[in-house]
Amino acid sequence: MRATSANNNTLQPAQPQADQVPNWQPLNDFAQRKQQDSGLKAWIAVVEGCIKAIEKTAWQGREIADQAITACKAVTRGASAVNEEMQLLADEARRWPARLKRLTKTGWMLTKVVASYRLWGTRAAFLPGSMRDAALANLHKRNAKRFRDTSLEQGGAFLKIGQLLSSRPDLLPQAWVDELAVLQDQASPVDFADIATVLEQEFNQPLDTLFAHVAPQPLAAASIGQVHRARLHDGREVAVKVQRPGLDEVVELDMTLLKVFMDAVKSALPPMDIDTIVNEIQRTVREELDYQREARVMTDIGRQLAAIPGIRVPTLVPERSSRHVLTTEFIQGEKLTLTLDRLKESDPAQVSALLSTLLDAWFCQVLNGGLFHADPHPGNIMITPDNTLVLLDFGCAQALTDDARRGYFRVLQACIVGDETVIADTLTALGFVTRSGDPATLLAFVSAVLDQVRDAIINPGQQTGWPTAEDMMQQVSELLGRLEHDPVDT
């Protein structure tokens, strides 16, 4: 395998080479095949998939032998060529046992989870009805703990998958959501020495040349990277997001295992378009690894929002940004929810103004610009002392085609005038299809999302108030009931 040239201090498009990426194609091919069977046959298929992945990883050990032969042949090209080939050999020797270890732990955990669900059908047949629900709930909880513990241990992309799944009560049983919720705040920081190494390798310069100062303690640590406050030599205060080392080595393996897992347990999940959901998770995780893409998205969304007062996006520092490092101006502020909690009694008008600005910002992104921040949780929205909203972390973003953007705008217009026929026809044209063909489930989701917007537009002077937590949970429960009755297939 050839080493990657990571010494890049400008935002140039990445040029991946085929021999830099582990070849998981045999397992990918397996994962793509629909698993229509049930019972023992399907469970055996999952085990076979994990075994194939382990075999593939072990066979990569042959690359070490091939690299050794290449290193020996390099003698004819001189001492520097031998040194280069030997370094590549050492790098490869360090990598492949780690892949095997990771696959063995993760694959075995998934195998146990899948096996327990496949055997549940047989076990449930011998349980009285009064015990069946409790036994299934315990099974969900036990499997969720297995998944959670492995996510914490493996970290990286697998932890990110767990975090994404924890926010999908429509996708997983409640016991899974409850157990995986702890992953939202459970990302151990990388040692600062490793962070310094990444920075120096990315830009091929000593750390004290790159920055006048870098705080060793991170401001935030997440599954993909962590953020440190720093100061440039010209005095500018900046935030430096550094990707955790080694993620490129394991992310494709993690994505493939996710596909195998979700295909295998599909029958135990609520009926829905699992393939689309899994594809979106895979896309999101892969894109979050590319900080050059994130830099472009952040810059483009910043331009989109420039005309909206009261909201801003941090300015990029391109000379200190690369595929694995993203440096922006540092902005002092407070987490959105902390500000709202502080103001809701003392200044409700300011709360309304902040939320209105947020709504304007997302309508602008989705309906006008066609590129939007797709992870607007409170940790990614900050309020400055002068009540300016600041958007952070653009790793998860989505671009819309012009047809999709116009279609969603048409849905909003039809919702305002109450034309359900236009809403249903437009969503069908955009590719939304329920199992029965009846649009009732789709209309219920549109109502949940846009009814308050419609009311605010029709009655701009009236304060109807935000729904309570109980109201929202009731609405979610009703939507899940509709999904159960008539799921959205695509």
Active site residues: 375
User: Around Cβ 252, how many Cβ atoms within 10 Å?
Assistant: 19
Distances (CA, A) of 274 to 239, 419, 440: 37, 30, 20
Quick one: CA dihedral 414, 427, 396, 114, positive or negative? Answer: positive
What interhelical angle do 39-59 and 25-32 show, nearest 10?
A: 160
State the number of CA atoms in the 13 A half-sphere of 248 facing the CB: 14
Q: Residue 199: which of 225, 173, 174 has the closest Cα? A: 225
Dmax (CA) for the chain in angstroms is 83
Rounded-to-integer distance, Cα 186 and Cα 287, Å: 21
State CA 62 to chain mean position distance: 33
Rounded-to-integer distance, Cα 22 and Cα 92, Å: 11
Q: Strand runs (DSSP E) across 93-209, as ranges? A: none
The answer to whether residues 337 and 383 touch, using CB atoms and an 8 Å cutoff, is no
Rounded-to-integer distance, Cα 112 and Cα 114, Å: 6
Q: Strand runs (DSSP E) across 191-341, as ranges? A: 213-214, 220-221, 225-231, 237-243, 311-312, 325-329, 334-335
Structure tokens at 76: 């004819």
What interhelical angle do 39-59 and 247-264 show, nearest 10?
A: 170
Q: Residue 366: which of 321, 422, 406 has the closest Cα? A: 406
The answer to whether residues 322 and 11 touch, using CB atoms and an 8 Å cutoff, is yes
237-243/325-329 β-pairing: antiparallel
What is the CA angle 263-267-270, rounded to 5?
105
Residues in the chain: 490
The answer to whether residues 393 and 377 touch, using CB atoms and an 8 Å cutoff, is no
Structure tokens at 369: 């610009």
The answer to whether residues 71 and 91 touch, using CB atoms and an 8 Å cutoff, is no
